[in-house]
Every structure is written in structure tokens, then in C-alpha cells.
Chain A
Amino acid sequence: MNLRHLATAASLALLVPAMAACTSNSPSTGADGSDGTVTVTSTDDACEVSSTEVPAGPVTFTVTNSGSKVTEFYLLGEDGLRIVGEVENIGPQLSRDLVVNVPAGSYSTACKPGMKGEGIRADFTVAKSDTPVDAGDQASVEQAQTNYAAYVKDQSDQLLTKTTKFVQLYEAGKDEEARDLYAKARVHWERIETVAESFGDLDPKMDAREADLEPGQKWTGWHRIEKDLWPQEAKDYTALTDTERKTYGQDLLKNTTTLDTRIQKMTFTIDQIANGSRGLLEEVATGKVTGEEEIWSHTDLWDFQANVDGAKVGYDGVRPILVAKGDKELATQLDTRFAALQKLLDQHKEGDGFVSYTDLTKDEVKALSDAVNALSEPLSKLTAAVV
């Protein structure tokens, strides 16, 4: 997940439930809105909404842009400020669905051709129905945001502390101690990897693997040093000199400091937290479970656990919102599958860490991979369920 994905996650998050519901819940289109389906035609100077009243429950707005500029559609609360739901970036002649679960009350709709101003607004009513809808609890939202930001900042802080120590040991030629601290320091990176990676300028300098490089690109960062500390499997490897060690060590430290400075200023929205949780499991599926991340040290299971830790923290933070919104079933499924994955990981613990990835049998790796897939599938629905 890169920076753009973080930045646009809010709008994307709304598209996810929209499409899912569109295929399953709206086989017919009732222009009168009685079945919770409303068509919206946005032009450069008008916003035609097929119905101004729907029953409480899930509502699908199918928004078509018939104008010449990019448009947006909003469902706003009674105060005209609170955004209940939105779809952005609808290009000319394209359509998008917005699905929102709305309780009874007064609202307004707004098309915003050209994405400027307060948009073309109209009153919109949601009538009482038999479908219970929970509006969500603002306090638990703020709690989740505060807690997650604190977690990320703390991890970044610990990363900087341990990296400082690691670089000192490495530069001093205390290889055994440096090797011991390598995975322990990286754990803090891996726990917040989706956030750390969102800085496109730092990630390639800090976490690039040899295979990621292009000709002429200088290889720096954690994995460069990893190879120097675990050269046994490297062919024809020339150890770095003391001067080179200092160069790479200081470079890593400088970038870690920059990263920490930036992270200390960050805030996170609910969809970013939920997307981050999903993203960390993707990191496991694509890099860790295949043993590609730490090809020299084989400390992949440390990273694996750290990614899962970070995902679990994100999930636990938004879980009260998930439950409040009524999706206990998803919460139960995620609880069970996080636990199942953790149980598998626990089998490979050794001392204060993990066995080498090369010690795992094929069947053990497959079992881990299956557990990651089992968890990732429902986790991919989390953002839509909590936003």
C-alpha cells in the first residue's frame, strides 16, 4: 500500500460496499426508492435524484455523470456538514454506486460537478422502517484513531532506538550482537510496515531487497547490511570494509530518523487503520510466507509475527465499531482466524523469537499460508464494514 492508497483510501472504502451490495442486493431498480435504490444523474449544472425518500436501511445510489467534468456525490447529515457517504472521482459518462446504511432522519444529497463549492443540494428523507440501523458511535471512532496513532508512534520510536543501537554494534564490528538485534529491531518496522512504506522516497532506501533493484541503483538499508552479517550463502561475497559499514549504517540511521520525524506528525482515519490491517496481512502473503524477505538471515518468522501483530492492533482498535454497526459475524470470524494463525506461529517460537525459516517443512509453510489466506479473505471486508 503506497502513499496514494492511503490518501485516497477514504473514497475507495466507500466504493467497496457499494459494488458488493450492488451485485447482491439490487436486482431491480425502483425509481421510487421504495426498494432502497436511487438513481442520480449529475450534469455540469444539475443533480437529478430519482427519489427524495427511502426507507431506513441499506440505500444504493447509482450515480451517473452525464456532464463534462469529474463529479462527486455526497449524502450529508441534517446539519449539511456531516458526510454520511460519498463517491469521488466519477469521470464523464461513468457511473459509480454508493451504498450506505442509513437510519431514519433528514438528510441532503449533493452533486459536486468540478469538485468545487458546496454542490447542488436537495433535501432527502429516510423514513422509519423495520430494519434496525445503528448510526455508529463517534466516541469509539475517536478512541480507535487515538490509540492507533499512539501505537504507530511508539513503534517508530522503538525502531529508532533499536536501530541506533544496531548501527553502533555493526559499525563496531560486534557482528554477533548485531545479528542478535537485527530481527528484534526490524520487528518495529514490520509492525507498522504499511505506514513506513507509504513514504515512497524512504522505503526503497531502507527496505529494498537485492532483487528489487534496477541497474545502477545503489543498494542500501536493512537488507544490504543483512547480507554483510550473514554472508554464508552469498556467492563470491566480499565483506564490506569498516568505512563502508559506517556509510551504510549512518545512511540507515539518517533515514530512520527522518521516518520517525514524519510519523510523529501523522494521524489516521478509520479506513486507513482497517486498510492498514489488511495491507499487513498482504505483506505476509506476498513476502514473508514465501521466505523472500530475509533471504540471508532467514528471520522471516519474526517479520511474519510483527506484521500479524500490527494487523491485530489495527483490527482490535476498530472492532468495537464493527460490533456497534452490527457485524458481529465478521468480528467473530476474524477473532477465530487471528487466533488460529497465532496458534500456528506459536509452534515455531524459540527463546524470545522464532526458528529459522529454513527449518520449516513444506507442510508447515503450507499450513501458515492457508491460515493467512483464511484470515485475509474476511479481513478484506473490514474497511467497508467499519467506515
Chain B
Amino acid sequence: MTEDETSESTSFGPSRRAMIGTGAVASAIGIAGGFTAGRATAAEPTKGAPPSPFALRGAHQPGITTPVQDRLHFAAFDVTTTSRARLISLLKEWTLAAERLMDGGPAGPIGPVEGDYRLPPDDTGEAIGLPPSRLTITFGFGPGLFADEEGKDRFGLGGRQPDVLKDLPHFPGDQLDQARSRGDLCIQACADDPQVAVHAIRNLARIGFGTVSVRWSQLGFGRTSSTTAGQATPRNLFGFKDGTKNILVEEAKALDEHVWVQPDDHGGDWLAGGSYLAVRRINMVIETWDRQGLGEQESLIGRTKDSGAPLSGGQEHDDPDFAMPGRGGPVVPKDSHVAVVHPDHNHGARILRRGYNFVDGSTDLGTLDAGLFFLAYVRDPATQFIPMQNAMAKNDAMMEYLKFTGSALFAVPPGAGEGEYIGQALFT
């Protein structure tokens, strides 16, 4: 196989790979950037858009309504410093580094191959020559940032902790691994190239050494949701289309109602324009699922496996008719996943899903350690996420094939303005 043939068969930056072989790194960035945009046109209505990466700064942080990228590296941190000043200075450094990274630049101000020959470079270098790959970096604050386990204020922020920012309750079926749960801070890095996402987390963690420590991190491949109307609904590891009813960026009113914290909400003085991120590591019992008949699988989900249409008929995006009678009960079974989590059955609650499939190798028993790394952005976890998760745990027939192994909740501050750092309003 020649280099060109290899390029044809890969989905990421084939031009780049070929170009790096010839040493034409700089021009490769331009071409591959164009290629990225070209790929995007296949599924999204962005034809002709310049290959510019998303901006870190703005009313909202990137990585929430941004069209979902293909890959994820997510990290949760414990804050190890007791100094408020150190914490703030880290947030400042992270903000600048994230801005550079999203722009396709190095993590540090100098660069991976520039600077003093005696010093380790301030960027680790594995992204040299890679396009920005639509990288977005999103920061969140966990309950532990405000108070320690005994409830003691850690950084003079105690009075500003929103009521709803607390550890998620224990849900039925939870078999949580504390080493994969919780965290004082989180960073979500999404990109079309896994190396770009990993590069971001690796360098941000490096900047944080001494101030924060990585508590856990999770790689995700294969987005399991869409956030724009032009994106096709992807499939989860059960083989079904997932998140068909997601909130899309085109729905400005729904975003205000269901995703963005409003000024009058508790904590809105610093969190307005931000959101809450519910994180759940959901292991799927893959091998057992695979032994279910197609009809059984469809009745567990409530949709057809092929088109994703609800079992009440029509096309994927048609509303399910939960009243349509079938043999032995409604044709969309009451305990099917779509029936249990549908907004109609959850007081109209909707969520913005941004999860990823994951496979972390295999278990001791040789079964896949795999599932869905569920990420959902909501305006109020207490009324949107927690009741939906409880309804699912209680009534969803699909629960038989799920194990919840990780759990966390973060407040995601609004976007930083020019000259600001992420979360600045909380510290001023």
C-alpha cells in the first residue's frame, strides 16, 4: 500500500499525513484545514464556511452547542492547592492555553520546538502539523471547589455555591467507582482528531501540576448525539440511533429554557449564560444485549434499529405516538427507553446530550469494558436530569443492560469575554 492509498482510507487529515512526509508542514495545516471544512459539508449546512476553529471567547463556552465533534478526552481534577490566588492564576493560565490550543497553536506561549534549547518545551509537540480539528475546550466547576467533605469553605466561595450544584444522588443500579466519579474541576476537550483532544488535556494537566491533580479521565470515540439539524443522528454501541430528540443549536428558545442558566436562577449572578453538566459513565452489557432478538431490542428502545423511526411508525424525527394501540399494549411499549425519557413523560424536560461511545479495552472476564460516556447540559439538574435518571432507573427496560460506573456534576461557567478568564465572575 502506498502512502496515498493509506491516506485515502483514513478519515482524518490524509493530506496532512502525506504532506508531513514531504516536510511541508505549514502548508499542510492550511490544506488539511480546508479538508476539515470539506468533511463538515457532507453532513452539515456549513458549505463554504472558512476553515476557522471555534472561538473560546463569547457569551457561552464552546463545546456545548458546537456541532458535536467525533472524539473526546474528558478529565476531572482535584484541586490540591489551598491558595485562592494559585487557583485563580491557574484558571488564567488555562484560559490562555485553551485559546491558543483551539486556534491550532501550542499550549504555551513559546511552542513545541521553539525556545531555549536547555528547557523542556512548553508544548508537548504531538499536535505539530495537525489542524485545529474543530477542537473545543470547556471548563466546569464541581461542588468540591466550594466546600470540602466536611462542608468547610475552601476558597472563600462557599456563599456562592448554587443550591443545585451538589453530588448527584445515588440512583438505582449505580455501581459507582469513586475513582471514576466526581471532581472539583473538569475539562471537556472535543475534536475530530483524538490526538488533538488528548494533546489538549495532556498539556492543560501539565500546566496544572502542583495546583490540581488529575482525578480521572475518559476517552470517547464516536459521538452519540447531534447538536445541529444538519448532523445525522449517530448510533450508540447497542447499534441504535440515540438522542434523536436532542436540543439543537437552532432552537434558541429551547436553549434558554432548558440549557442556559438565567440571571434569576440561583447562582445566576456568576453562572448566567453557563450551564450544568451531568456526567455518567454507563457501561453496557454488550454481550448479553447482542443475544437479544431484533424485535426484543427494538421493543426495549422503542425505535426501529434500521431508520430509528418510533415503533408507532413514520420516519426518525416523527413524534412517537404513545397512545397508538398495539398487540398486548401500546405499540411503543411503556417501558421502552424512548417512552420513559421522552419530554412528554418528564414534565416537558429536555436535555442537551453530548455523549460519546467508549471502549476501555476488555474486563477480566473478556467482555468489553464499553458503553456510553453520557454528557448532558441542563439549566437545572434538579428538575431536568435527576427526575429523568430516576424514571429511567425505575421504569426503563433497557436498565437490564446498563451499569452506571461513574458519575459527576459540574457547573459550567459562561464564556469568557476579551481579557477575562473562565469563571472570573465567581471570583470577583
Chain A positions within 8 Å of B, measured between CB atoms, are: 2, 4-5, 7-8, 11-16, 19, 65, 70, 72, 88-89, 91-94, 115, 211-215, 217, 278, 282, 285-286, 289-290, 362, 365-366, 369-370, 373, 376-377, 379-380, 383-384
Contacts and interface: CB of A to CB of B under 8 A. Distances in A.
Interface residues of B, number: 43
A384 B292 CA distance: 11
B372 to A, nearest CB: 17
Given A115-B326, A211-B174, A366 B287 contact: no
B248 to A, nearest CB: 24
Contacts of A70: 312-313, 324-327, 331
A68 B224 CA distance: 31
Given A91-B310, A282-B288, 10 more contacts: A88-B328, A91-B309, A93-B313, A93-B314, A115-B325, A211-B175, A213-B170, A215-B169, A376-B288, A377-B291
A15 B294 contact: yes
B335 A4 contact: yes
Contact of B294 (A16, A65, A278): A16
B90 interface: no
Contacts of A89: 311, 326-327, 331
B172 A212 contact: yes
A215 B169 CA distance: 8
Contacts of A213: 170, 172
Contacts of B294: 15-16, 19
A362 B367 CA distance: 14
Contact of A13 (B291, B293, B311): B293
Interface stretch (B21-29, B42-50, B390-398): B390-398
A285 B288 contact: yes
6 contacts: A2-B400, A4-B333, A89-B311, A91-B313, A93-B309, A366-B364
A294 to B, nearest CB: 16
Interface of B: 169-175, 285, 287-288, 291-296, 299, 304, 309-315, 324-329, 331, 333, 335, 364-367, 390, 393-394, 397, 400
A14 B335 CA distance: 21
A209 to B, nearest CB: 10
B333 A285 contact: no
A64 to B, nearest CB: 11
B312 A92 contact: yes
Contacts of A12: 293, 295-296, 299
Contacts of B291: 278, 282, 376-377, 379-380
B311 A5 contact: no
A365 B367 CA distance: 13
Nearest to B321: A91
The 9 closest A-B pairs by CB, nearest first: A15-B295, A91-B313, A92-B313, A16-B293, A380-B291, A12-B295, A88-B327, A369-B365, A89-B326
B327 A5 contact: no
Contacts of B335: 2, 4
Contacts of A13: 293
Contacts of A115: 325-327
Contacts of B292: 380
Given A365-B365, A383-B293, A88 B326 contact: yes
Contacts of B288: 282, 285-286, 376
A342 B304 CA distance: 38
Given A12-B299, A115-B325, A366-B364, A384 B293 contact: yes
A112 to B, nearest CB: 9
Contacts of B328: 4, 7-8, 11, 88
B172 A214 contact: yes
B363 to A, nearest CB: 9
B343 to A, nearest CB: 20
A366 B363 CA distance: 10
Contacts of A11: 295, 327-328
B285 A214 contact: no
Contacts of A373: 287, 366
B312 A370 contact: no
A380 B290 CA distance: 9
Nearest to A86: B327
Nearest to A8: B328
A137 to B, nearest CB: 24
Contacts of B169: 215
A211 B404 CA distance: 11
Contact of B296 (A5, A72, A217, A366): A5
B170 A215 contact: yes
